[in-house]
Amino acid sequence: MNRSETQVEPVGRHPHPEAVARTRFADYVMLTKPRVTAMVLLTTLAGFYMGSAHGLDAWMLLRTLFGTALAAAGASALNQYLERDGDGRMRRTQGRPLPGGRLLPQRALLFGGVLAAGGILFLALAVNGLAAALVALTLLTYVLLYTPLKTRSPLCTLVGSLPGALPPLVGSVAAEGRITAVGVGLFAILFVWQLPHALAIACLYRDDYDRGGYLMLPVVAGDNAATGRIALLYAVALVPVTLLPALWGGAGALYLAGALVLGGLHAAAAAPLARTGSLPAARRLLIASVVYLPVLLSLMAFDRLPPLPR
């Protein structure tokens, strides 16, 4: 056996090109925040289905979801580009591609910009101009308003609920070409739902947000229980808002009863956080809110009423 056969190449000195490519691909995927993008698509789908007054156009739905996915992924990448310094100070986010040093900021900026612009352009050409305009509004409020406001004011959570609530309205507009009562109702539900959801996250990661320099409400208040009381108020306020689809004729009696029960359970999950401010209570509210929304939307879709004639 010769000398070259007995020598071992140090591990990691020359990574295999395929391994590098897989890692790079995974980093770009991470920039898109897949779970956030999936939630955007779920609510867009709900808006499209509930807003389809004259039959479901499956091809139009696919075009809507594709363009929305591009724009949502681009917005997440741009968000991470702007927050890369703060993310590097937070334990929860310091492993992301930019603070981890695995991607150059310029590449993330280009990647996010191309995806966002491409998604909006696609929607304008393949769906309709109003849907594209609403997605552009979502992008602008998320990237240029909510993102910088996180380091300036605890009102960022309230402002951030606007872009988070627009996807179902986008879906309904894509289906009908106009803003409808059902779309507005879904927008209102998503707007209010996000508040206890986001406040639970802020309580759960209060110290981390403080390290990152983000002025979330529990960071400024210095008390999770005070934030929990506000989350409870929003959870209670959500109950009558969820009745709008039934009052406006989008969903029936089964949805109405289910929304009341689900709203009561969701508010009950917020009560312990308001009382104790503990991390387990914040985690339970977060889990409850994550379960609550898809169950509510599924019940709404199941009990959807045929539209009234124009």
User: Does residue 57 sit in the same domain as residue 88?
Assistant: yes
User: Does residue 223 sit in the same domain as residue 288?
Assistant: yes
User: Does residue 35 sit in the same domain as residue 118?
Assistant: yes
Number of domains within the chain: 2
DSSP class of residue 249 equals T
253-276 and 279-302 are packed helices; what angle lies between their axes, rounded to 10 degrees? 170
Asked if pLDDT for residue 117 goes beyond 90, the answer is yes
User: Does residue 109 sit in the same domain as residue 152?
Assistant: yes
Condensed to tens digits (0 to 9), the pLDDT of residues 183-224 reads 999 999 999 999 999 999 999 999 999 999 999 999 999 889
User: Does residue 273 sit in the same domain as residue 197?
Assistant: yes
Asked if pLDDT for residue 307 goes beyond 70, the answer is no
In the predicted model, what is the mean pLDDT of residues 135-139? 97
Whether residue 4 is contained in a domain is answered as: no
Q: Which domain holds residue 186?
A: 180-310
Q: Are 135 and 67 in contact (CB under 8 A)?
A: yes
Whether residue 15 is contained in a domain is answered as: no
Output the average pLDDT for the chain. 92
Q: Domain end: 179, 207, 234, which one?
A: 179
Whether residue 10 is contained in a domain is answered as: no
Q: Are 172 and 51 in contact (CB under 8 A)?
A: yes
User: Does residue 32 sit in the same domain as residue 168?
Assistant: yes
Whether pTM > 0.75 for this model: the answer is yes
User: Does residue 174 sit in the same domain as residue 240?
Assistant: no
In the predicted model, what is the mean pLDDT of residues 172-181? 94
Q: In this predicted structure, what is the pLDDT of residue 5? A: 37
Spell out the long-range contacts of 22-28 with Cβ–Cβ below 8 A and sequence spacing 24 or more: 23/102, 24/102, 24/103, 27/97, 27/102, 27/103, 28/97, 28/103, 28/111
Rg (CA), the chain: 22
User: Does residue 160 sit in the same domain as residue 308?
Assistant: no
Q: In this predicted structure, what is the pLDDT of residue 37? A: 96
> Which of the two residues, 132 and 307, has the higher pLDDT score?
132
- Kindly indicate the confidence band of residue 309, based on its pLDDT and cuts at 50, 70 and 90: very low
- Kindly indicate the confidence band of residue 1, based on its pLDDT and cuts at 50, 70 and 90: very low
Asked if pLDDT for residue 287 goes beyond 70, the answer is yes
Condensed to tens digits (0 to 9), the pLDDT of residues 263-275 reads 999 999 999 999 9
Phi, psi at residue 172, to the nearest 5°? -70, -35
Whether residue 143 is contained in a domain is answered as: yes
Q: Domain end: 154, 179, 204, which one?
A: 179
User: Does residue 175 sit in the same domain as residue 26?
Assistant: yes
Q: In this predicted structure, what is the pLDDT of residue 16? A: 63
Q: In this predicted structure, what is the pLDDT of residue 20? A: 64
Sign of CA dihedral 192, 193, 194, 199: positive
User: Does residue 171 sit in the same domain as residue 210?
Assistant: no
In the predicted model, what is the mean pLDDT of residues 35-62? 94
Whether residue 224 is contained in a domain is answered as: yes
User: Does residue 173 sit in the same domain as residue 143?
Assistant: yes
Q: In this predicted structure, what is the pLDDT of residue 4? A: 37
Name residue 157's amino acid: T
Q: What is the CATH number of the domain that holds 62?
A: 1.10.357.140
